[in-house]
Amino acid sequence: METFTFLLIACSCTVIQSWSEDDTNIPYYDDDIIACPEHEVYNSCGLNCTKTCFHLNPPCSTKCIKKCECRNGFYRNRWGECVSYDDCYSDYIVSM
């Protein structure tokens, strides 16, 4: 039993070491199977800024990141949900 445990740990360390030495061995997720919440879409090169109800046109740089983004015409509210512009207005009124 001790030999089996030692071999298991040794093999695990070898796998982890090979992933850290060569980025091509790092596992990745297929972009086609990413599930996003309602009114969002996955973008493998999304903007590094977020359009919100309070910042409809935030400044963005050209760097892209993988993320779920609000669909066109939707903005993040204060709870992080993607809502329509009209719902942004009602969210603002409720918070006053």
Structural domain contains residue 10? no
> By CB neighbour count within 10 A (0-12 exposed, 13-18 middle, 19+ buried), where does 29 fall?
exposed
Q: What is the structure's pLDDT at 76?
A: 95
CB count within 10 Å of CB 20 equals 10
pLDDT digits (tens, 9 = 90+) for 8-20: 444 444 433 444 4
Query: pTM value?
Result: 0.58
Rounded Cα gap, residues 61 and 11, in angstroms: 43
Whether 89 is in a domain gets the answer yes
Domain with residue 91: its CATH number is: 2.10.25.10
Is beta strand 74-76 parallel, antiparallel or unpaired with respect to 40-47?
unpaired
What is the per-residue pLDDT across 35-92, written as a single tens digit (0 to 9) for each? 899 999 999 998 889 999 999 889 988 888 999 999 999 999 999 999 999 998 776 5
Q: The domain containing residue 51 runs over which residues?
A: 35-96
Task: Evaluate whether residue 5 is within a structural domain.
Answer: no
Q: State the total domains in the chain.
A: 1
Does residue 45 sit within a domain?
A: yes
Q: Among all chains, which residue has been given the structure tokens 């445990």? A: 5
